[in-house]
Structure 1
Amino acid sequence: MADWYLLYVVSSKAAAPPGKLPQRHPERQTGRVAGRCIIDYTHVTCVDEQEGVHYHYFELGKNADPEKETDPRFKHAFTAHPVLDPVHMYRLHKRFAHLELERTYQEIEQLQREILNTSSLSVEGEQSATWPLGINSPFQPRTRFEVLRWDYFTEDQTFSCADGSPKCELIGADLADVTDVISTAVDELNRKYQPVLHVRKQQLLNGYRRFDPTRGMEYTLDLQLELVTQKGHSRSITKRVHLVRPLSEVEIIPMPYVTEASRINIILPLTAQDREYAGRFLQAFADIQGNENSLLTLLFIYDPFQAQQVSQNDIFGQVKSQIAEYERKYQDFKIPWISVKTDAPSQIRLMDIISKKHPVDTLFFLAGVGSHVTTEFLNRCRMNTINNWQVFFPIHFQGYNPEVSEHGQQSHPVTLELLRDAGRFDRDVFEEACFYNADYMAARSKMAADAQENEEILEMLDIYEMFIRYSGLHVFRAVEPALLQQYRSRACNPRLSEEIYHRCVQSNLEGLGSRSQLAMLLFEQEQGNST
């Protein structure tokens, strides 16, 4: 089938076919047809042949439905007329888009046949052609740690949950994905076996899926099918099917222009349990000040009892002394700080205090006390945060407990390196965030109505969840190799939401060491007990 294009000619009356000029009529002087305008301004008349290429037209019948048009000339038409109104134009476009889709499927089938025929000439024969034809071959793991995991699911539940639970309900996109793949499997079975057999009912017995980064999402389904023969007899069989949802073509999304010149306001919340790590953070911040346009603000978080004792015994006295020493040592080095009294230091409550003290165009980096701030990361924070468009939540690299990862070594390394045995990217922590004050204020104002009805929502949600639910912006979360954190055991506050508390505990447990390191410690312990 030759390539074709569709030219819509919209007029109050039938447009003239190619090769024939429409006649002038006095009643048309105020509204000429599109073809007449083209002729007047380009001085090119309508033709049905040019340089050996024939341009076909098709005249639609009165009250004709383009979606039911079966004339072969319609498929090859370059123009169609008359198109009397916009609705008729959209229906015509829908029909030609459907024809284009059919032509694309035919080309895919032709390419698959060519691949199969060509593969028969190779050394391995037809076995060299991967399934499905034209899709990349499956990922081949080099070590046992790279083996892709299969997730088990049923029609309404999955046994691989994001929070680590053994079983949870299928909802949202996961439910739509499972429903769609079951429907696709049944449709393909009907297409293959009809009219001899027809699937009347189906039930999913077992479902498995995994994401292969080289080809897409793979599925294996065990279906209980009720088949109906041509004679009306029914019988039940169990059949296993394999499906692949290939990765689509990568698209480049247009993004607004950003620069690396924006000033970053680093906000560091500090609790009593974290004050011993503040000195290392301050030193890292001081080391980059010569090359950075940034400002650091500390939030000293007191619980009610600590706030009462602040005049006699300030738990943050040593940190404040370090700040004063840095300000004396470095010229134009100022670190403002704010004292906050609360027994439930949620991110949203703390940012409410900071947000009111800064202009709307302020770029914030909400930091964790264990983070080692570098110029490379701050530049990435600037580039990945776009006002009124995108917020950035980096996933830092968390170092393992040196007592586990460096067990048996005489000395522990001072600096953390980006190595598999040295740590992991901590996906359970959402404490670091880059966003503009205007975006925070907009999301916070949308959240205000829910907060008035249920004030506990301020502790139940962190800033990440707030942006997801109320902002409507792109929420970009990705691993950040330039943001490193030395090992520390986080103090998990049970006053916050159950989900936030569970993530904190999970981070502490998985941050102890790798599986092989922990297994070696258990092995040595068992060996010691046996002797």
Structure 2
Amino acid sequence: MFKRWLMALVARVGLIVLTLCCCVLLLYLLACKPVSHGSQQSLPWAGSATSKERYMALLQEREDSHRHYINSLTKQIAQLKEALQERTQQLQESLDKAKIKGILPQGLESLHKTPTQSDLKEFFRSQLNQAEVNSGVKLPSEYALIPFDTFTLQSVYQLETGLTRHPAERPVRKDRRDELIGTVETALHVLNGPKHHTDNIRRKHTFSPSDFIQGLTRTERDRGSIYELTFKGDSPQDFTQLVLFRPFGPVMKVKSEIVNTQNIIINIIVPLSKRVDTFKQFIKNFREVCIQQDGRVHLTVVYFGRDQIDEVKAVLDQTTRETRFRSFTLIQLNEEFSRGRGLDVGARAWRRSQNILLFFCDVDIHFTADFLTSCRLNAEPGKRVYYPVLFSQYNPSIIYRNQTLLPSLQQQLVIRKESGFWRDFGFGMTCQYRSDFINIGGFDRSIKGWGLEDVHLYRKYLHSKLMVIRFPTRSLFHLWHEKSCADELPPDKYKMCMQTKAMSEASHSQLGELFSKQEIQVHAQKQMK
């Protein structure tokens, strides 16, 4: 009994002690709770306004901290870029100095190149492919063709004469001179360079400026400038041609090749009707240039009608007897004169297997041996036809009216604005291979008399893929002769004939002086009083 009471007492006392311990512990925890500081222990979803303000202040503080950190990183990046740029510049200067001294270590050549060099090369190559360099492009009309200018080390022969109206520019403007001389120097550097053998050219001597014969140049405004330079070769019949292209940047080498003209025969075709005296003058020039100097020509004369045919035969027979030159062909046509018809017959009359080079010529044309060379160099079968711009002589009786005697013909043939003009509106004189002439369809045989047949043929080539080479030629002259325009011509041809006649008499200043001759004399008499 006593044990049961004792155990119940112990249990009650233990429960009371446990309860007291719990109360003490709770009081201890409440006494040790940290003091609250602002909103650090407040919850965002607490409903009071004070809690929201504390939360927004906390966000602002963190945003300011991130902004300062970002500004610090940006400043460090800028400092690193500046240091890198400095080091890159120092390295580039060191490489430049090493390259100049020739001590650039092997394997560092690529470091010397700018990162965009491949892009520049690709762009320049695309410009070259689009330019009319290696092949012709189809053109809408004769006005779309860009003619070449001819230049030597001393002069530039150009169609665009500007305000000076000088057909030959002497001396050349400094900017143009620097451009052309720089191009010749670049060509000499290429020809004499160590890598020139890659074009299968065997050089026997070092090229110098004295080897430079002449150059052609023209600028395609959306592409660049093209230069075709001709140098002397190892023999009188060998020439070296170098084509350069400046795509609005450094000059690029296009090709370099030796052109051997020794076996290129030129068939000179002359349509003729009467005019025997003029023909005798032509034969005199032919003997001096073609027989005595060149020797690689054939002359085809297509004569219309029967009048004076015997005199023409006598001139040819006399030439054969005196020079032993027998490479003549005389074709007689008993029909009305037609220049296009005569040239067409003469071109098709060649029966040999060789693809002959044709030179369509008139009886009042004077040329030199240099022109025959130019004819051979600028025409290429299936690729190029040559349409030279000749220099047309003014009426000598007007030009030299103040002189007692007329100068000799050689003295008259000078390229000055007082003595003549570039006949840029004429397309009758041309060098082209017979195969190209046949393939293009030849002349329009329906055209009779004077004019237009050459323009129609010229337009055929412009519409084809052949390249038309056209530039002022300093070795080809049109001699002045009295021109009469037949009443039988249709209005358009008669107008063209009269325009040509007016332009061929004298320059504007000379015609103006003749027109005002009486006024000038009256003024001179007044001054003498």
* TM superposition score normalised by structure 2: 0.47
Higher relative contact order (CA 8 A, sep 6+): 2
Q: Greater Rg, structure 1 or structure 2? A: 2
Q: Which structure has greater helix proportion?
A: 2
Identify, as 1 or 2, the structure richer in strand: 1
